[in-house]
Structure 1
Amino acid sequence: MDIEDVLRHRGGAARTETLRRAGHSRTRVDKAVAAGRIVRLRRGVYSLPDEAGVLGLALRHTALVTCVSAAPAYQLWTLQKADAMHVGQGHRKSLPGMVMHGRIRHPVHPWLPVAGLADVLIHALHCLPVLESLVMVQCATQRGDVTVDFLRRKLPGNRNARARAVLDYVVPRADSILEVLANYHFLNAGLQVRRHVELQGVGEVDFLVEDCLVVETDGATHLEPRQVKKDRTRNNATVVGGRLCLRFGYDDVVHHPGRMVAQVLAVLEQSRRGAFGGR
């Protein structure tokens, strides 16, 4: 495994001992630093160049990175990169463009200048738009790193009502960010939704809406020729089995959710009117 891949699998940064266990000697590490492939953050800690800015700045100013800025360190799902550095309270002076958060109340990252996962998620729930914090929490909870109940207990009282409300949309399992977002939008539209339903002759589908409409959310892998052929077969089997099917890609779910929901509602309305009945 290339040294960059090792770092990427560690959230963008790793200790020397981790790199050595992966087969990269001190000489190889030094050559990668000299070539600009990786960056030495401090003695014994290395990073990918695109992560070095935030982590390096935190180290220089003895700050702890949190919220969406800490997502790469924990390999959490995100919708977009942070446009500013988010740090926990306790850093004496803020830097231009820095977003300050509340106190760090839980054990911090063992070797990076990053707040603990619990604080990162709590700060995200208070700071970010609903969907951006939701995908971070979903990723952490379904991996088993933290539980929804734990986070809910950490967010008591009326002042935390908005943050707790986000937790209501966390599901036991989501195979992608697209599923998390689509589920949120369907529930907000008042639709009855079942996830990961096994249909005879089709297999498992992402969503079964109002028990008559199958909705699939397609990531980049669904554009591969083999997957396109498989999806076509599944679509045909869905219709043969007596249900309709709609498919939505990344652009639909992330950038045009209103249009996606409108199309789902339109098909359901036509179905209620008997538009798809035999003639």
Structure 2
Amino acid sequence: MQAEEVLVELGGVATRAELLTRSTEGALRRAVAAGTIIRQSRGRYALPSTARIGQRAELTELAEAGRRAAHEVSGTAILLSATARWGWPSKWLPTKPQVALPRNRKVAPGVRRRLDVRMRDLSSSDREDGWVTSRVRTALDCASLLPPDEAVAVLDSALREGAVDRDELLFAAAGLAPLYRGKVEGLIRFADPQAANPFESVLRWIVSDIPDLDVRPQVRITDDAGLIGIVDLADVQLRIVMEADSFEWHGQKEALERDCIRYNRLVAEGWLVLRFSWDQVMNHPERIRELVRRTVLRATCGYDVHLRTG
């Protein structure tokens, strides 16, 4: 089977080992060379969908805007301008370049209107290329200063890239001020390099505080006929699957057919399947949390929740 076809059946993201169970090393190499499969990080591959290609181009553009802004004001690109430089997808993209300037610097009103300026002192060890925070510094800053769901999306991306690891981040976090240390260490431990994208990362964070629920990203599920697929999130104990659905995967007839077969096989195996759109995840987390809470209650109690809560 072609490596691209295997990757589609695996949900668009898979490890090298998973691909080679049904395709060949040569087919994988040819697909990567042709650009029909992209290598996300060591041993991890994805389909180069139009959305991902557009995302990479957008990150490159944002990184360049951050570089120009940092040089203009003799500052340092930070936070989401820095994540763009390192190629880490995030929940939201900055509307203005984010830069840090020394605390004693005077900033003209026009500069503040054009740039998101943060007053902070950075050491030379915190910077790379003379204009941007290092990967470790960027990850810690985002974990410290962004809302938790946005921070998790960045940390998942950072770990997925593979240039930093969890132990390295935890070691650096130990040197933070007590005001931030506990929050940052908790987020680093929660982060997971298996998360496929910020869409999935944010969904995982939304449901993370629901009692009795323990979801893991990119879970492989099989039945008697073989592999059903690798789902976005799953609680294996409760047999609950959560899918972060985007139109790019389900906008064609063939994709819809595959999706229906996959869904029906999951249900036939006793899985409760919940599907959420991008708008629901990004803009209505409270609705998702309540729906998942009720689903967990039903799974743990074994009868209709409405009989208990109605």
Q: Secondary structure at the match of 1:187?
A: coil
**Map of 2:245 onto structure 1:** 218
Amino acid at match of 1:203: G
Residues 1:177 and 2:198 are matched in the alignment? yes
User: Helix, strand or coil: the match of 2:132?
Assistant: coil
Distance 1:11 1:81 in 2: 9
Q: Which has the larger radius of gyration?
A: 1
Q: Deviations over 1:38-80 (max 9, x none)?
A: xxxxxxxxxx4x6654432321222111112222211111222
**Aligned-pair Cα RMSD in Å:** 2.9
Q: Distance in 1 between matches of 2:298 and 2:248?
A: 31
Superposed counterparts of 1:222-241, under 5 Å: 222-225=249-252, 226-241=254-269
Report the 3-state secondary structure (helix = DSSP H, G, I; strand = E; otherwise coil) of the residue aligned with 1:171.
coil
Judging changes above 3 Å, is the alpha-carbon distance between structure 1 residues 124 and 198 closer, same or farther for their aligned structure 2 residues?
Answer: closer
Compute the TM-score of the two structures, normalised by the length of structure 1. 0.73
How many residues are matched? 235
Structure 2 counterparts to residues 29-68 of structure 1, below 5 A: 48=61, 53-68=65-80
SS at match of 1:168: helix
Three-state SS of the structure 1 residue aligned to 2:220 is strand
Query: Which structure is higher in helix share?
Result: 2
Whether the 8 Å CA contact 1:213–1:243 is kept in 2: the answer is yes
Moved over 4 A (4+): 8-11, 50-53
Name whichever of 73-82 and 202-211 sits farther off. 202-211
Cα shift at 1:244: 2.1
Superposed displacement of residue 10, structure 1:
9.8
- In the superposition, relative to structure 1, how do residues 260 and 164 fare at CA in structure 2: closer, same or farther (>3 Å)? same
Secondary structure of the 2:125 match is coil
Q: CA deviation at 1:178?
A: 2.0
Q: Distance in 1 between matches of 2:286 and 2:58?
A: 36
Secondary structure of the residue that 1:198 maps to in structure 2? strand
SS in 2 for 1:154: helix
The aligned counterpart of 1:205 is: 231
Gaps of 5+ in 2: 1-34, 36-52, 306-310
Q: What's the TM-score, normalizing by structure 2?
A: 0.66
Percentage of identical aligned residues: 19
Match of 1:150 among 161, 168, 174: 168
Tell me, yes or no, if structure 1 residue 168 matches structure 2 residue 189: yes
Gaps of 5+ in 1: 13-47
Compared with structure 1, are the counterparts of its residues 253 and 158 closer, same or farther at alpha carbon in structure 2 (3 Å cutoff)? same
Residue in structure 1 matching 2:296, options 248, 251, 268: 268
2:193 and 2:93 map into 1 onto residues whose CA distance is: 25
